[in-house]
A and B are shown apart, each in its own frame.
Chain A
Amino acid sequence: MAFAWKAAGLTYNRYLAIAARVVRRSLKEEQRLQAERRGESDLRFAKWENGKQGELKNLAAANEAAFAESAGKEGQ
């Protein structure tokens, strides 16, 4: 079984997130506003190396970047 989203470098969770976002966006106006609040996440994260905390980065942005990179690799 081959998945198109797997070939595009997405993980299953990422694929789910995108599917959920599409469903939320296609809801009616009132429900949509409520539902979109569930889709928001403004987490920040930091990598630690040798006991030192690295730079705080936005999680969503970093995830996008990571997938864009792995998608590039798959394409080659």
Chain B
Amino acid sequence: MMLSRAARPALKAGSAAAVRPSTVNATAAANYATLREIEGRLKSIRNIEKITKTMKIVASTKLTRAQKAMTESRTYGQTSNTVFEKAETKPMEAEGKKDLIIVCSSDKGLCGGIHSGLSRKVRKTLAESPDTELVILGEKCKAQLGRSNSRNTVLSFAGIGKDVPTFSDAIAIADQISLLPGDYSSVKILYNKFLNAQTYEPTFVEAYSEEAIANSPNYASFEIDDEVLANLREYALANSLFWALAEGHACEQSARRNAMDNASKNAGDMINKFQILFNRTRQAVITGELVEIITGAAASEEG
């Protein structure tokens, strides 16, 4: 009788550690088991914290490179867009023609909600104009949009986001897109715009069709031959793609750094919680044993 009462606080602590209900009625020996269980969980959480910390450091180093690449590529994209700004090019509003959206995500996850942010934006746009076709760069958005909007998808690319995107990647993608059979009234590139290390937002950048360029109000001042117009369009598409890819890559790395930072913090909190629980349980077990010994000694003295 004495024994079970003494063991009770320890058992209470044990059941608080979310052990199986069957151990609640077990004797003091079971307390060692729960102690060991808590120790095991502590160890595994520590390991996870180590991993997330390492991933954070890796992402941090990659981020500096990605940001450098982003500022460089932004120059490409903006210079290329200056032409259209000065020519006051407007996207065509042609009836009966489809739109094309190029979604710039990447292959890798574990970086918060940047991919699902893109997907959500695409779904919203598709709800307004269901005829729009999609070209998806990167496995993550492909998996998300492939499930819900697979009918709209015409092309998907994989192998993006292993490293900083190169211009030859952009060229290869732009070529494959220009080989598409469809005639599109407007081509939009959707990417994550890098606002600062914490925030990014899905943004569209327009890649104009030949007609749109030819119809722009200030077109005459550039003296573009009709034959080279196609070249300009292809090159502008590659430029914009390169820009979008590099900026998306930088966003992804910074998002991953933040996600891993949060994960490490949470793991630290859990470690603290379990450490306290572990110490309390151990104390309880020791107290229980002491009570047992003393009562045993008292009983044998009496007898």
Contacts and interface: CB of A to CB of B under 8 A. Distances in A.
A38 B168 CA distance: 7
B176 A45 contact: yes
Contacts of A45: 155-158, 176
Given A44-B157, A59-B173, A63-B176, A39 B166 contact: yes
B290 interface: no
B9 interface: no
A22 interface: no
A20 B155 CA distance: 26
**Which residue among A2, A43, A44, A66 has the maximum number of chain B CB atoms within 10 Å of its CB?**
A43
A37 to B, nearest CB: 8
B157 A14 contact: no
Interface in A1-50: 1-2, 11-14, 16-17, 20, 38-48, 50
A50 B146 CA distance: 11
A73 interface: no
B156 A60 contact: no
Contacts of A39: 166, 168
B219 to A, nearest CB: 18
Contacts of A59: 157, 159, 172-173, 176
In which size bucket is the chain B interface? Answer: 20 to 34
Contact of B169 (A43, A51, A52, A62): A43
Contacts of A62: 176
A14 B168 CA distance: 9
A17 B179 CA distance: 16
Interface string B159-189: 1100000111101111110110000000000
A12 B151 contact: no
A40 B166 contact: yes
B228 A1 contact: yes
Nearest to A2: B227
Contact of A38 (B155, B167, B227, B238): B167
Contact of A11 (B146, B153, B234): B234
A63 B175 contact: yes
A48 B150 contact: yes
Contact of B159 (A17, A44, A47, A50): A44
Interface string B245-269: 0000000000000000000000000
Interface of A: 1-2, 11-14, 16-17, 20, 38-48, 50-53, 56, 59-60, 62-63, 66
29 contacts: A1-B225, A1-B227, A11-B175, A12-B230, A13-B234, A13-B235, A13-B238, A14-B171, A14-B175, A16-B238, A17-B168, A17-B171, A20-B167, A20-B168, A39-B166, A39-B168, A41-B168, A41-B169, A43-B158, A43-B169, A44-B158, A45-B155, A47-B154, A48-B154, A50-B151, A51-B153, A53-B156, A56-B158, A59-B172
Given A39-B166, A41-B172, A47-B154, 7 more contacts: A1-B227, A12-B235, A13-B235, A59-B157, A62-B176, A63-B175, A66-B175
Of all A-B residue pairs in the complex, the 7 with the closest CB atoms, nearest first, are: A12-B231, A51-B150, A48-B153, A43-B159, A51-B151, A13-B171, A41-B169
